[in-house]
Amino acid sequence: KEGIAAFLAEAALASDQDEMDRGAKTGVTLMTVHAAKGLEFDTVFVSGMEEGLFPHQGMGTDEKRDEEEERRLFYVAMTRAKERLFLTLARVRKIYGADCVAEPSSFLADIDPAQMLYDETNDEEIIEA
């Protein structure tokens, strides 16, 4: 039992920052926006740029404060990229087993359109396996 407890305690304290401190320069690092604070990467992908996901449709009582915090997190996510930033969203997302049409995040409207490059893949071009 002590072995498992020790392992869980060690795993809980480990973070992606530990790997970065060791000089790992290649590969993909998957982390939350909170964990990315203070870090920078050449290329950053932010997925889930859909209304209800980012900004998160929370259960909080102070919606104004929650939206401001989500906006700060979006700023953090965008500013982690030194060279390239990819903001992605789904057209349709499965939620509780049902297909739901996804609306783009309202935060995307705040970005200067001249700074954005759109790539809308046509569904017919997707190869089925």
Sign (positive or negative) of CA dihedral 8, 26, 117, 122: negative
Higher pLDDT, 15 or 83: 83
Neighbours of 58 (CB within 10 A): 13
For the domain bounded by 24-119, which CATH number is listed? Answer: 3.40.50.300
SS3 assignment, position 83: strand
> Who contacts 106 (Cβ-Cβ below 8 Å, separation ≥6)?
51, 55
What confidence category does residue 50 fall into, taking pLDDT thresholds of 50, 70 and 90? very high
Mean pLDDT of 81-108: 92
pTM for the predicted model, two decimal places: 0.69
pLDDT: which is higher, 21 or 74: 74
